Amino acid sequence: MHAIAAIPVLLIASAAIHAQQAVSLPRSDGASTPAMVYEPTATHGCPPLALLSPGAGGNEKGLAYLAQALADDGWQAIVLGHRESGMAALRQDMRRAHGIRRGVQALVADPVAYRDRLADIGAALAWSGQHCRAPFKALLGHSMGARTVVLEAGAGNNLRIHGADRFDAYVALSPPATDASFPPDADRAIRAPMLMLTGTRDATVDGASHADRARAFDALSSRCAWLGVVDGATHMNFAGVGFAARTAAENATTTLAIAFLDGLRAGHCSHPPAIAGTTISSK
């Protein structure tokens, strides 16, 4: 009985493995970025495209919970490796700055790192476009990835980075608070649809609170915007790491991201669903 029951589980696991593909994406500057592609489990024609940008020190194996949920919803999800702001780059900055916190601060304030990240995004768009023309495109990111998201969407900044706003919608997990890179009301220039999520324990590396992150939502000029605040969720919970409130953060992220993006794909800004333990605002 147990052996027979295990067969469907093995088949499901095998299908999940085959649905993922590790690729190397050539960039216009001659470099390349590693990426993990999650193909949709079911599709009719060209699927919508979701690019996922992990935080500083992350890689293409991160944000798997969100990428898989999007693939299950019919999206082609691509997690970008961002080699120049991955773990090797973070360790180098930590050595130079003599500490973890200062090393992270140096990396997330490096304009060259963001130019490389935007080049990675361009490489993924070009690679996906060779296969088919996605009817809808979204960019999602966590931490430094969320900073990348708002830069691409057009946020004002002191990094001299000008995003191309190449997407139909954006999702920022742990959006940046006001700091040396992002002046007050930096997000006022963003007009595209934006979902932001944070947690009550989601402090920034500079010591700002989740409330400071949430002020980015207040500044948005987006025609459709949601903000979710997950009770007890830490910064790393949104990356799919940690214990306290990890499940709550992942559930809120996948539920809200899919509801937000699917509503926009259908041509409207839908009303956010209620989620226990999560405070949700919209405008």
- How far is it, in rounded angstroms, from Cα 283 to Cα 27? 37
Mean pLDDT (the chain, rounded): 90
Q: Is residue 66's pLDDT more than 80?
A: yes
Of the candidates 95, 259, 278, the one whose C-alpha atom is nearest the C-alpha of residue 202 is 278
Q: Is residue 14's pLDDT more than 90?
A: no
- Which pLDDT band, with edges at 50, 70 and 90, does 107 fall under? confident
CB 59 within 8 A of CB 86: yes
- Which pLDDT band, with edges at 50, 70 and 90, does 58 fall under? confident
Q: Is residue 18's pLDDT more than 70?
A: no
Provide the pLDDT for residue 89: 67
Provide the pLDDT for residue 42: 75
Provide the pLDDT for residue 120: 97
Which residues, other chains included, contact 104 with Cβ-Cβ below 8 Å and sequence gap of 6+?
A: 56, 57, 90, 93, 94, 205
Of the candidates 41, 99, 101, the one whose C-alpha atom is nearest the C-alpha of residue 71 is 41
Residue 174: phi and psi, rounded to 5, are 65, 65
CA contacts within 13 A on the Cβ side of 279: 10
- Which pLDDT band, with edges at 50, 70 and 90, does 133 fall under? very high
Q: What is the mean pLDDT of residues 261-268?
A: 97
CATH number of 20-282: 3.40.50.1820
Distance in Å from the first CA to the final CA of the chain: 53
Provide the pLDDT for residue 93: 60
3-class DSSP state of 13: helix
Tokens of 4: 């027979």
- Which pLDDT band, with edges at 50, 70 and 90, does 109 fall under? confident
Using the CB atoms, write b or e for 40-58: b if 16+ within 10 Å. beeeeeebbbbbbbbbbbb
- How far is it, in rounded angstroms, from Cα 254 to Cα 266? 18
| pTM higher than 0.85 | yes
Domains of the chain by residue range = 20-282
Of the candidates 95, 72, 63, 111, the one whose C-alpha atom is nearest the C-alpha of residue 250 is 63
Q: How far is CA 96 from the centre of its chain?
A: 28
CB 256 within 8 A of CB 197: yes
Q: Is residue 80's pLDDT more than 70?
A: yes
Of the candidates 192, 184, 183, 143, the one whose C-alpha atom is nearest the C-alpha of residue 164 is 192
- How far is it, in rounded angstroms, from Cα 147 to Cα 135? 25
Q: What is the mean pLDDT of residues 64-82?
A: 96
Q: Could you count the other beta carbons within 10 Å of the beta carbon of residue 259?
A: 18
pLDDT tens per residue, range 157-214: 999 999 999 999 999 999 999 999 999 999 999 999 999 999 999 998 888 899 999 9
Provide the pLDDT for residue 104: 77
The residues with which 52 forms a beta bridge, in sequence order, are 79, 140
Provide the pLDDT for residue 3: 36
Residue 195: phi and psi, rounded to 5, are -110, 130
Lowest mean pLDDT among 41-45, 63-67, 111-115: 41-45
- How far is it, in rounded angstroms, from Cα 227 to Cα 173? 10
Provide the pLDDT for residue 57: 86
Lowest mean pLDDT among 169-178, 222-231, 243-252, 260-269: 243-252
Provide the pLDDT for residue 96: 78
